[in-house]
Amino acid sequence: MMHHDFERDLGADSAMTLNQAGVGCDVQIRVLSGPGCERLRDLGFCEQMQVRKLAHGRNLICSICGTKMAISRDLAEQVFVEPVSV
């Protein structure tokens, strides 16, 4: 059985979580990894979706599919993203 190393698959230069992305940045979801994956998918977060991080405070506020949404930092830590190519 093979195990995936998601951070390696992302590439060391682009691997970051939604928490690490800068406010105002547009990013693309690469991988959801962690115990909150099912909850994130229920909220509309899935691989290949584009997200804009709007604010980073007690909760993280982002825009996904034209909807503003607040998620906990714990959930945002399970969303691995890469910058959107311009």
Could you read off the pLDDT of 18-65 as tens digits, one per residue? 999 999 999 999 999 999 999 999 999 999 999 999 999 999 999 998
Q: Find out if CATH 2.30.30.90 is the number for domain 19-83.
A: yes
Whether the pLDDT of residue 81 is over 80: the answer is yes
Predicted confidence at residue 39, as pLDDT, reads: 93
Task: Choose among 23, 26, 37: nearest CA to 79.
Answer: 37
Q: Among 70, 75, 85, 1, which residue's Cα sits nearest to residue 32?
A: 75
Nearest CA-CA partner of 77 in 17, 36, 28: 17
Percent of residues in the chain assigned helix, strand, coil, to nearest 5: 15, 40, 45
pLDDT of residue 85: 73
Q: Look at the block and give the residue holding tokens 């230069």.
A: 13
Predicted pLDDT at 15: 78
pLDDT at 12 > cutoff 60: no
pLDDT, position 21? 95
